């Protein structure tokens, strides 16, 4: 749990006051995408693949959205038009393009997007409503008889987020104007003089409205986001069918929701919106709710890869410790958890949130998009067989590309006199501090190596605090400044090494993180994982593929697997593999989870059988995963 309040005797009111005080202070900011330049062996090639392969490939799947736009504009078209939710893909794709343009401008790509934006402007209704599917079908906007089954808000949310990022990347306001008019129409529909309470059944618009408020300062967007959250659990939406209300996070009012329930993507988007509201309003109830949701997901309902949502029925989160190896684990849910973790870091300023962000980004998210950049996975089970990657172009492909291109934004945060280093991405980042702009030059081969070199660039000396994250997976880490050990050793604060000093141009901070291969076990309540271990090195979870292991991906390990690592720069995009011996003496090979299923058909497994594994149900201290050595020691 990120939020730790100790207020004995104060009661609920005292706790609420403490929470508000803890939130007070200068808010953290994330740098824009163009402020981070990736120049490393890991992320830079992945960004390049998305720019050169994924985006050109994705245009094919924009055709039915383009046909829908032309049809709405009165043109004659042939072929299928988009569906009720599919229009969101167009806007997720626009957001992907915006991040790519922020990294590297492309006039031809801009022109192609601008042509579609011009059509969108043309078909937007005078009142601002612009869901093209609804316009073409003749259905009523925000249909009160089908509000929980519709996707009006989901589509609008992605339109808003795309518009904000396209404006940030290009300075063009056309798409932003469309989004603002549509958001204003939603405000009038729900909160205007003749407005009627309700909310879209697929959460997403809530966090988008908060982002629009951050950009514009218009309080009505924040007000509408709050209304969508507060109306849940009060019977404000007429059920369109027998689907349980928890599927829509509408089973209880927010303050009575003790766990995060329902459709995994809808639920995690809803939780992110609640965290966003906590950040912007300082409301203690929102903060407490966000932390309850966080604990529910990350301490009891998250696979070791960061994947969530194991149930195929209703694509749901499931019960506590329900984490089957062959679970559903939709890619969009992993993308949503990355955003939720980022918001929880901004809210609580604790590295625990970044540990989860790193886990899901390097494993669950990256696994969803193939190494080629042109195929993907909708589901990401930890045990699979003979299921080739393909590109069905449902909701996940553009969600994956837009999430991956935000890695630089996730990597840093700052205030006027603080810089947080969260993820270790080689390249540069530039942030504005009170005494002037500071740039960090980062040299690293992370996640293959634990060595990181940070060089400060500043036009003049300036007093600031650098927070260097000590990852939760790392047991040994050393930090030096200008080649000298720091005396006294710098304090660790909320999962960070705190370096406070007057920084001068050319100052160098060097970080060395030990990266042994380690075996991790799941909480004893996770029945699917009993007697098994998962291999992890640094932030990467590893898996076994039948192609590399005599056709059998299920491996049994003995007491000493004799782990060895080998870097293969030309294989699977460049990876470090793990070699060792099984319990019967035969060799095995493990590769990073995100690289599984990128070759021919085969079987894949993350969890390996571990001989002589002793479990102790006590002393887990609320943790979901622990190192095998810790568990064995406590079981003696």
Q: What is the DSSP string of 466-517?
A: EEEE--TT-S-EEEEETTEE-SSPPPEETTEEEEEEEE-TT-EEEEEE---E
Determine, yes or no, domain membership for 343: yes
Report the CATH number at residue 455.
2.60.40.1180
The answer on 338 and 220 residing in a single domain is no
The answer on 270 and 187 residing in a single domain is no
10-residue averages of pLDDT along the chain (636 residues):
41 33 73 97 98 96 93 92 92 98 97 97 98 95 93 98 98 98 98 97 98 98 98 96 96 98 98 98 98 98 98 97 97 98 98 98 97 94 89 89 97 98 98 97 98 98 97 97 91 96 98 98 96 98 98 97 98 98 98 96 97 84 92 75
Determine, yes or no, domain membership for 405: no
How many helices, marked H, and strands, marked E, lie in the chain? 19, 23
Determine, yes or no, domain membership for 437: yes
Give the residue among 138, 168, 141, 174 at the shortest CA–CA distance from 156. Answer: 141
Looking at residue 54, what DSSP letter applies? I
Looking at residue 620, what DSSP letter applies? -
Give the residue among 28, 117, 324, 294 at the shortest CA–CA distance from 286. Answer: 294
Q: Of the candidates 460, 486, 513, which is a domain's last residue?
A: 513
Give the residue among 376, 304, 363 at the shortest CA–CA distance from 592. Answer: 363
Evaluate whether 342 touches 357 at the Cβ level (below 8 Å).
yes
Determine, yes or no, domain membership for 388: no
The answer on 361 and 252 residing in a single domain is yes
Q: What is the pLDDT of residue 636?
A: 64
Determine, yes or no, domain membership for 264: yes
CA 368 from chain center: how many Å? 12
The answer on 340 and 469 residing in a single domain is no
The span from the CA of 554 to the CA of 574, in Å, is 24
The answer on 153 and 251 residing in a single domain is no
Give 454-485 pLDDT, tens digit per residue: 999 999 999 999 999 999 999 999 999 999 99
**Residue environment code for 8-25, b if the CB has 16+ CB neighbours within 10 A, otherwise e:** eeeeeeeebeebeebbee
The answer on 471 and 534 residing in a single domain is no
Evaluate whether 287 touches 1 at the Cβ level (below 8 Å).
no
Determine, yes or no, domain membership for 347: yes
The answer on 246 and 235 residing in a single domain is no
Beta bridge partners of 437: 432
The answer on 453 and 558 residing in a single domain is no
Q: Of the candidates 208, 239, 270, which is a domain's last residue?
A: 239
The answer on 167 and 41 residing in a single domain is yes
Give 284-318 pLDDT, tens digit per residue: 999 999 999 999 999 999 999 999 999 999 999 99
Determine, yes or no, domain membership for 397: no
- Two structure tokens written together for 367: 């696994």
504: number of Cβ within 10 Å: 12
Give the residue among 414, 411, 413, 410 at the shortest CA–CA distance from 424. Answer: 411
Q: pTM here?
A: 0.95
Determine, yes or no, domain membership for 393: no
Give the residue among 451, 422, 443, 435 at the shortest CA–CA distance from 505. Answer: 435
The answer on 205 and 81 residing in a single domain is yes
What's the domain range around 186? 36-239
The answer on 374 and 263 residing in a single domain is yes
Tally of domains within the chain:
4
The answer on 484 and 549 residing in a single domain is no
């Amino acid at each position: 749990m990120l939020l730790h309040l100790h207020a004995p005797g104060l009661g609920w009111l005292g706790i609420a006051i403490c929470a508000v005080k803890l939130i007070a202070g200068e808010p953290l900011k994330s740098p824009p995408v163009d402020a981070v330049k990736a120049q490393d062996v890991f992320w830079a090639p992945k960004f390049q693949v998305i720019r050169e392969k994924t985006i050109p490939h994705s245009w094919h799947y924009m055709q039915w959205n383009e046909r829908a736009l032309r049809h709405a504009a009165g043109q004659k078209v042939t072929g299928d038009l988009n569906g009720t939710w599919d229009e969101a893909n167009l806007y997720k794709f626009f957001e992907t393009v915006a991040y790519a343009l922020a990294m590297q401008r492309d006039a031809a790509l801009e022109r192609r997007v601008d042509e579609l934006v011009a059509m969108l402007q043309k078909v937007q209704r005078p009142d601002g409503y612009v869901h093209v599917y609804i316009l073409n079908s003749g259905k009523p906007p925000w249909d009160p008889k089908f509000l929980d089954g519709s996707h009006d808000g989901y589509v609008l949310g992605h339109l808003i987020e795309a518009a904000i990022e396209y404006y940030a990347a290009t300075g063009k306001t056309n798409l932003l104007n469309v989004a603002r008019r549509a958001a204003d129409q939603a405000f009038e529909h729900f909160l205007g003089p003749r407005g009627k309470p309700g909310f879209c059944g697929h959460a997403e618009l809530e966090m988008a409205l908060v982002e629009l408020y951050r950009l514009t300062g218009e309080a009505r967007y924040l007000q509408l986001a709050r209304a969508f959250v507060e109306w849940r659990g009060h019977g404000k939406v007429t059920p369109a069918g027998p689907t349980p209300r928890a599927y829509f996070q509408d089973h209880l009012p927010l303050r009575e929701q003790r766990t995060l329930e329902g459709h995994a993507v809808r639920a995690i988007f809803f939780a992110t919106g609640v965290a966003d509201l906590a950040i912007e309003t300082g409301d203690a109830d929102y903060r407490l709710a966000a932390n309850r949701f966080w604990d529910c997901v990350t301490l009891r309902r998250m696979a070791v890869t960061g994947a969530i949502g194991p149930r195929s029925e209703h694509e749901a989160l499931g019960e506590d410790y329900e984490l089957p190896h062959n679970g559903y684990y939709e890619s969009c849910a992993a993308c949503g958890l990355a955003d939720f973790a980022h918001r929880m870091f901004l809210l609580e300023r604790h590295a625990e949130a970044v540990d989860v962000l790193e886990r899901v980004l390097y494993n669950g998210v990256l696994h969803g998009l193939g190494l080629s950049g042109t195929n993907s996975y909708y589901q990401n089970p930890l045990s699979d067989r003979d299921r080739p990657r393909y590109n069905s172009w449902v909701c996940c492909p553009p969600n994956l590309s837009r999430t991956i291109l935000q890695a630089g934004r996730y990597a840093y945060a700052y205030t006027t006199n603080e810089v947080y280093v969260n993820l270790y991405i080689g390249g540069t980042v530039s942030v504005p501090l009170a005494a002037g702009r500071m740039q960090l030059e980062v040299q690293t081969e992370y996640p293959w190596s634990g060595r990181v070199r940070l060089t400060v660039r500043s036009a003049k000396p300036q007093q600031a605090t650098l927070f260097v994250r000590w990852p939760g997976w790392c047991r040994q880490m050393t930090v030096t400044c200008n080649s000298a050990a720091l005396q006294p050793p710098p304090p660790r604060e909320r999962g960070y090494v705190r370096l406070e000093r007057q920084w001068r141009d050319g100052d160098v901070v060097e970080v060395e993180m030990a990266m042994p291969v380690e075996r991790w076990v799941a909480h004893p309540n996770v029945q699917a994982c009993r007697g098994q271990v998962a291999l992890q090195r640094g932030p990467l979870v590893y898996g076994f593929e039948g192609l590399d292991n005599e056709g059998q991906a299920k491996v049994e390990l003995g007491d000493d697997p004799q782990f060895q690592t080998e870097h293969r720069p030309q294989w699977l995009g460049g990876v470090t593999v793990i070699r060792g011996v099984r319990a019967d003496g035969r060799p095995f090979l493990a590769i990073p989870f995100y690289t599984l299923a990128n070759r021919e058909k085969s079987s894949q497994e993350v969890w390996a059988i571990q001989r002589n594994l002793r479990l102790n149900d006590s002393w887990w201290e609320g943790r979901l995963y622990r190192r095998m050595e810790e568990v064995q020691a406590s079981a003696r």
